[in-house]
Amino acid sequence: MRVLVTGGAGFIGSEYVRMLLASGNSDPADPPVCPSAVTVLDKLTYSGNMNNLTPVREDRRLRFVQGDICDPALVDEVVAGQDVIVHFAAESHVDRSIAGAAPFVTTNVLGTQTLLDAALRHGVGRFVHVSTDEVYGSIDEGSWTETWPLAPNSPYSASKAGSDLLALAYHRTHGMDVVVTRCSNNYGPYQFPEKVIPLFVTNLLDGGTVPLYGDGGNVRDWLHVHDHCRGIAMVQEKGRSGEVYNIGGGTELTNKELTGRLLEACDAGWDRVVPVADRKGHDRRYSLDISKISAELGYAPSIDLDRGLAQTVQWYRDNRAWWEPLKETGTAVVG
């Protein structure tokens, strides 16, 4: 099986590539996806990083193509001969989308359409579209099932909703084999230090302060990136065509509770926290119902937040050479 991974040099895409290429000698909890070839198509924007693929660089099954998913000629060439596309490439940071929405619409909507057209032309077996729980908007009580109406609030989530619906439309209109995943907030190693967990951890490890939005009461469901990728692999292998699968089931925390855990993990006190004005249009709470993927595909998260956060903080302690150069290009905002 030949797999094309777009955005495979980013945080989650690179975890997926590392997981795919480790199949057979990895965690027995990992789904057995054994590709004969993995092609990564990535533009290497500020958040794409070849160092994320260092652990699998020597694997002969891996081919890296630097390029834009909005480039029809390149996409056509790369998509030809693929059995499966797993589509991660996106502009991914909400705060950047508030500062300027154009690249979000271009990459997330037009780029996805360019890939879908190429997949249709070449008869690719399956298109896995990686979406986000942010397409549902914000929920005060209860949890979203996959049939919940989409009501995105930020330019980022609106552009993701556009691409999510386009992918489903290619299934309904053209009969393409499309599956969509919608996941909650991810954390783990190799996450660009503009998102809240790596931003806070690296600031604290450097002896600095951390910016906490508003009253700190916004709630997010935190899922380890490896559990997200396990869920995607299950959907890739066994998900029903045309279906959407929520992936979550980590731990819901307010930003203030999360900050408390990160301060503790980094041996720092609340004097290091600087309250900042709330993000415009800040979604209050995200919460996913994961009964569908659990019942149909046997998914359950395997890494609890305490263990995952401890491992993640340790990873940032051990890998200064990875993140120190990136801090200069990151923005000091909460993701």
Ligand X SMILES: NC(=O)c1ccc[n+]([C@@H]2O[C@H](COP(=O)([O-])OP(=O)(O)OC[C@H]3O[C@@H](n4cnc5c(N)ncnc54)[C@H](O)[C@@H]3O)[C@@H](O)[C@H]2O)c1
Chain residues that interact with ligand X, rule: CB under 6 A? 6-7, 9-13, 42-45, 47-48, 68-70, 88-92, 107, 111, 130, 132, 160, 183, 185-186, 192
Give the nearer residue to ligand X in terms of CB position, either 268 or 316: 316
The answer to whether residue 58 is catalytic is no
From the list 182, 176, 174, 163, the residue with the least C-alpha distance to 287 is 182
Nearest distance from C-beta of residue 70 to ligand X, angstroms: 5
Nearest distance from C-beta of residue 103 to ligand X, angstroms: 8
Give residue 149's region: left, alpha or beta (phi > 0; psi -120 to 50).
Answer: beta
The answer to whether residue 133 is catalytic is yes
8-39 core/surface letters (b: 16 or more CB in 10 A; e: else): bbbbbbbbbbbbbbeeeeeeeebbebebeebb
The first and second tokens of residue 278, run together, are 């709330």
Give the nearer residue to ligand X in terms of CB position, either 13 or 31: 13
From the list 134, 154, 153, the residue with the least C-alpha distance to 144 is 134
How far apart are alpha carbons 26 and 81 in whole angstroms? 27
Give the nearer residue to ligand X in terms of CB position, either 91 or 95: 91
Residue least distant from ligand X (Cβ)? 10
Which phi and psi (to 5°) does residue 63 adopt? -125, 130
Give the nearer residue to ligand X in terms of CB position, either 85 or 89: 89
- Out of 68, 91, 133, 227, pick the active-site residue: 133
Nearest distance from C-beta of residue 66 to ligand X, angstroms: 9
The first and second tokens of residue 191, run together, are 């996450």
Give the nearer residue to ligand X in terms of CB position, either 1 or 50: 50
- Out of 16, 136, 156, 299, pick the active-site residue: 156
The answer to whether residue 156 is catalytic is yes
- Out of 42, 134, 252, 283, pick the active-site residue: 134
Nearest distance from C-beta of residue 267 to ligand X, angstroms: 26
Residue tagged 């992918």 (tokens): 167
Give the nearer residue to ligand X in terms of CB position, either 268 or 287: 287
CA angle 154, 160, 162 (to 5 degrees): 105
Q: Is 246 exposed, middle or buried (0-12, 13-18, 19+ CB in 10 A)?
A: buried
Give the nearer residue to ligand X in terms of CB position, either 68 or 177: 68
Residue type (1 letter), 152: P
Nearest distance from C-beta of residue 84 to ligand X, angstroms: 16
Which residues of the chain form beta strands (DSSP E)? 2-6, 37-42, 62-66, 84-87, 126-132, 178-183, 185-187, 210-213, 219-224, 244-247, 251-254, 273-276
From the list 63, 179, 64, 36, the residue with the least C-alpha distance to 116 is 179
CB atoms within 10 A of CB 139: 18
Nearest distance from C-beta of residue 133 to ligand X, angstroms: 7
Nearest distance from C-beta of residue 215 to ligand X, angstroms: 22
**Which of the residues are catalytic?**
133-134, 156
